[in-house]
A and B are shown apart, each in its own frame.
Chain A
Amino acid sequence: AQTVTQSQPEMSVQEAETVTLSCTYDTSESNYYLFWYKQPPSRQMILVIRQEAYKQQNATENRFSVNFQKAAKSFSLKISDSQLGDTAMYFCAFMIRANSKLTFGKGITLSVRP
């Protein structure tokens, strides 16, 4: 079975600064995807970024980037130039390509201070 671990329950960052959210996972599979989702107070789940396991290059989407360390089974999210609208819960998720089922971590609450 696959597991996803987000060990930090909450973090706080000053507006305009950079913050990194950690995620580790465990799997014996070789063909999989990793995702970060954002859940603001509105409760909507929003896809932030995706990483394919077979790609060595780290994914980037505007201010969001990942540090994917396949051997260490680590998948951290870096948010640059933090904005007040980044305040949300962030979930790391894992999917085996063969069955397309998502396994989520427990999430981390990020607060951006003005």
Chain B
Amino acid sequence: DAGITQSPRHKVTETGTPVTLRCHQTENHRYMYWYRQDPGHGLRLIHYSYGVKDTDKGEVSDGYSVSRSKTEDFLLTLESATSSQTSVYFCAIRRQGSDYEQYFGPGTRLTVT
């Protein structure tokens, strides 16, 4: 258990509405990541952060933004949700001194109708 929580765990929203997912960690890790999981695609990196206010894009960043104003929280925002963003979203941290291992939160299932 890497002390990672995600909220909400499930959400249903309508097309065009903004949505924010929260990832919270309790162990002061510097690196945090957001992935999405879709059938037939495995997990794909959306954005990641390497420190407070330091973020960068991943493989599938279009339509998403992130913010990290404090070490423990990494927020993922869908500015205007679309049905193609229906997915399971995972947050992960890279544990300090762990030789680059990433540990994942429990996931958030998002449905855009």
Interface residues of B in 69-113 (CB under 8 A from A): 88, 90, 92, 94, 99-104, 106-107
**Cross-interface CB contact of B100 among A33, A44, A103, cutoff 8 Å:** A33
B-contact bits for A7-49, CB 8 A (1 contact / 0 none):
0000000000000000000000000010101000001110100
Range of interface residues on A (Cβ < 8 Å): 20 to 34
Which residue of chain B is the closest to A46 with respect to CB atoms?
B104
Please, how many angstroms separate the alpha-carbon atoms of A93 and B94 in the complex? 14
Contact, CB under 8 Å: A102 / B102: yes
The CB with the most chain B CB atoms within 10 A, among A43, A45, A91, A107, is that of A45
A-contact bits for B16-42, CB 8 A (1 contact / 0 none):
000000000000000101010000111
Q: Does A97 contact B (CB under 8 A)?
A: yes
| Across-interface contacts of A4 in B (CB, < 8 A) | 42
Range of interface residues on B (Cβ < 8 Å): 20 to 34
Contact, CB under 8 Å: A104 / B42: yes
Tell whether A101 pairs with B48 under 8 Å between CB atoms, given A45-B90, A47-B101, A95-B100.
yes
Contact, CB under 8 Å: B42 / A43: no
Would you call the interface of chain A mostly helix, strand, loop, or mixed? Answer: strand
Q: Nearest Cβ distance between residue A16 and chain B, in whole angstroms?
A: 29
| Across-interface contacts of B103 in A (CB, < 8 A) | 47
Q: Nearest Cβ distance between residue B52 and chain A, in whole angstroms?
A: 17
| Across-interface contacts of A44 in B (CB, < 8 A) | 104, 106-107
**Cross-interface CB contact of B106 among A43, A52, A102, cutoff 8 Å:** A43
Contact, CB under 8 Å: B45 / A101: yes
Interface residues of A in 79-114 (CB under 8 A from B): 91, 93, 95, 97, 100-107
Q: Please give the residue numbers on chain B whose beta carbons come within 8 Å of chain A beta carbons, in ascending order.
A: 31, 33, 35, 40-45, 48, 58-59, 88, 90, 92, 94, 99-104, 106-107
